[in-house]
Amino acid sequence: MANIDFDKVIDRRNTRAAKTDALKELFGKEDLIPLWIADMDFEVCPEIAKAITDRVAHHIYGYSRPSEEYWQSIIDWQKEKHNFSFTREELDYVPGVVKGIAFAVNYFTKEGDKIVIQPPVYHPFKMVIEGNKRIVLSNPLIQNDNKYQMDLEGLEKIFATEKPKMLILCNPHNPIGIIWGKDTLAKLASLCKKYGVLVISDEIHSDLAVFDNVHIPFATASKEAEEISILLGAPSKTFNIPGVVSSWVVIKNKELRDGFFKWLAANEYNEPTFFATIATEAAYTKGGKWLAEAKKYIEDNIVFVEDYCAKNLPGVRAIRPEASFLIWLDCSRLNLDHKKLIDLFVNKAGLALNDGEMFGAEGEHCMRMNVGTSRKLIEQALSQLATAIKEM
Ligand SMILES: Cc1ncc(COP(=O)(O)O)c(C=O)c1O
C-alpha cells in the first residue's frame, strides 16, 4: 500500500501532541511553527492504522499477551534490514528507549558510579544519569569543520583515570545524525572491554539512515561489542509511532542478560500493551514501502534546507545528517550569544526548534531542526528565518 501524501499539512493542535500542545509551556507562545521534538508530522502507514483500528473496534480492552508473531517481526526486521541476528531469548520488551536506558542504569550501576556520554548528545542521557544519582563523565565529540568524530583518545584517558562503569552510545547519533563506522564502533568496543565498561547502545534512529548510509548495530561491530552491549531499539521513530510506546532490548551476553531480564520481569516492566505489539508487528511486517517513501521525502527536505541555507542564509550552515529527520544547524556565523539566538528563532522568526545547548554546552550556537514535516512548512519556516535575520 503506502502512497501517503507527505506534502499534506495536518493540524495537530489539540490532539495532545507535545509538538503543538506544549508550545506555550516550553516556548512561551503558541503561534510558532513547531520543528522541535523528534516525531514526524506524517500520517502513519495505513497498515498500522488499520491494525490498531481493527483491535479498537473490538470493545474489550482486557489484559493482553504478546503473540509469537510480534517477537518474530522484530527478529526478522533486524536480520533483514541490519544483518543483526538474535533469538527470542535474547530479546525483551521495554516501555520506551529512555526507560530502557534508565532500567539498565539502575540495574547495572549503583549511586555514585560514573557513566560516560559524548556530547552534544540526546539530553535525557544526562538527565537519567544525574536523576539516578550517578555521575556524568563527558567525552565531547571532536568537530573538524562539518565532520564530527568520536574522541577515542579522550575516552581512553577517561577510562584509565575515572574508571566509569558504563557508556551510553547514541548510534546513530542524535542531534547530529552521525552514522558511526564499523571501525569506530569496534575500536570503542575494544576500549570498553579493556576497561570493563558496559555499553548501552541507543539505536532508535537506526532504520532512518539516509543518502545510502548504512547503519551498523553496535553489537555486530565485533565479538567484544557483542559481549558488552545492551542494545535498545524501537519502531517508534521509524514509523512515527512514539505515542504507542513500543521498544525492545537485545542482550547477546547470557550473563548480563539473565539477571536483567529477570529483573524486568519481576517488576513487570517487560509487559507491552496490546497497542504496542499490534502496531510493532504491523510496522515491521507491512511498513517497508511507507518507510522507503518517507525516507525519500526526508532526503528531499534535507537537500531543500541545505540549498536554502547556502543561497539565502549565509549565517546558518546545515550539517547533513547521515540518519534521521533532524538537521543540525550551525549558526555560529550569526555571531549571536545563546539567548539572542533563541530570541531570533522564537520571537523574531516564529519558530520552535530545539536549541543546541540543550544537548550540552558543545551545542552552543547550534539549533536542531526537525524536517519530518511537509515541505511547505519548511519553506515557510526558512523564509520567516531569512526575514528575521535581515531585520536584525
Ligand atoms: C536518541 C534517542 N533516544 C531515545 C529517544 C526517545 O525514545 P523513547 O520515546 O522510546 O523513550 C529519542 C527521541 O527523540 C532519541 O532521539
* Tens of pLDDT, residues 113-166: 999 999 999 999 999 999 999 999 999 999 987 789 999 999 999 999 999 999
Q: Tell me, what's the pLDDT at 1?
A: 55
**Gap between the Cα atoms of 157 and 58, Å rounded:** 58
Q: Could you report the per-residue pLDDT of 40-71, keeping only the tens digit for each?
A: 999 999 999 999 999 999 999 999 999 999 99
CA of 176 to the centre of ligand 1 (A): 14
Q: Which atom of ligand 1 is nearest to the CA of 100?
A: 11
Cell digits of residue 127: 538527565
Ligand 1 cavity residues, CB under 6 Å = 38, 96-98, 122, 170, 174, 202, 204, 234, 236, 242, 247
Q: Tell me, what's the pLDDT at 299?
A: 98
- Domain 18-44+288-390, what fold? Aspartate Aminotransferase, domain 1 (3.90.1150)
Q: Tell me, what's the pLDDT at 3?
A: 72
For ligand 1, atom 7, which residue shows the shortest CA distance? Answer: 97
Q: Tell me, what's the pLDDT at 286?
A: 98
- Domain 50-286, what fold? Aspartate Aminotransferase; domain 2 (3.40.640)
Read off the DSSP letter of residue 43. P
Q: Could you report the per-residue pLDDT of 320-348, keeping only the tens digit for each?
A: 999 999 999 999 999 999 999 999 999 99
Domains of the chain, by residue range, sit at 18-44+288-390, 50-286
DSSP reduced 3-state for 190: helix
CA distance between the termini of the chain: 48
Given ligand 1 and candidates 37, 202, 247, which is best to mutate, with the most ligand atoms within 8 Å of its CB?
A: 202
Given ligand 1 and candidates 94, 168, 176, 204, which is best to mutate, with the most ligand atoms within 8 Å of its CB?
A: 204
For ligand 1, atom 14, which residue shows the shortest CA distance? Answer: 38
Q: Which atom of ligand 1 is nearest to the CA of 324?
A: 16
**Gap between the Cα atoms of 346 and 333, Å rounded:** 18
**Gap between the Cα atoms of 51 and 285, Å rounded:** 12
